[in-house]
Amino acid sequence: MSAPEESVVVVDYGMGNLRSVSKMMDRTRAPFIVSDNPADILKARRLILPGVGAFGIGMDNLRKRRLLEPLNEAVQVKRTPLLGICLGMELLAESSEEHGHHKGLGWLPADVRRFNIGPELRIPHAGWNGIHHIAANPLFEGVAEGATFYFTHSYVMDCRDPALVTATCDYGEAFAAVVMKDNVFGCQFHPEKSQRNGGIVIHRFLLEDLA
């Protein structure tokens, strides 16, 4: 099935949480399609890059499905707004050290590394945690300071440009919970599992003028 014009496309690259993201999209009643078709990606109004799993496998899957070129054209040339979720956010970086060294999409001057925390805390960081706003972000207007979201991850993003980080979270160390650069947005948490607060973020991503 091909996406209608001006729809939201949830990018299917074989990594994880497509069902929960689809359920969230059903609740918004916004036209959307789950697709790995480059033509759908190129005509999308919004793109969502979800993901659960390992960084290297995620990038390999994007290559195997020939999605790197259409994603780059849509996001970097056409300036289509994209929201990366969890692994999808991590893939926005230049590289990751997860199970070796892997190149990412390279849209953000950042690298992904494992948590640097003491043995008293478990990895992965899994569960509800509050975020701290440090810069304005149009997706988070109406989201209170300290609002909680659902996280599950073992790796975090280090941004070489601190201005890219609009919210942090503390789990043994402060890490980037939300990033933004022009039309590219990323959430380390899962908005689709974060009840009302996650719903606010998704609705604003779908409805705000982000061009």
CA–CA distance, 147 with 54 (Å, rounded to integer): 27
| Residue 132 among the catalytic residues | no
Sequence-distant contacts of 39-43: CB under 8 A, at least 24 apart: 39/2, 39/70, 40/2, 40/3, 40/7, 40/9, 41/9, 41/11, 41/67, 41/70, 41/71, 41/74, 42/70, 42/73, 42/74, 42/78, 43/3, 43/5, 43/6
| Residue 192 among the catalytic residues | yes
CA–CA distance, 45 with 167 (Å, rounded to integer): 25
Among residues 98, 169, 192, 203, which one is catalytic?
A: 192
Neighbours of 206 (CB within 10 A): 21
Among residues 86, 98, 153, 187, which one is catalytic?
A: 86
Among residues 141, 190, 203, 208, which one is catalytic?
A: 190
Say which residues have a Cβ less than 8 Å from residue 69's Cβ, sequence separation at least 6.
Answer: 38
| Residue 190 among the catalytic residues | yes
Catalytic residue positions? 86, 190, 192
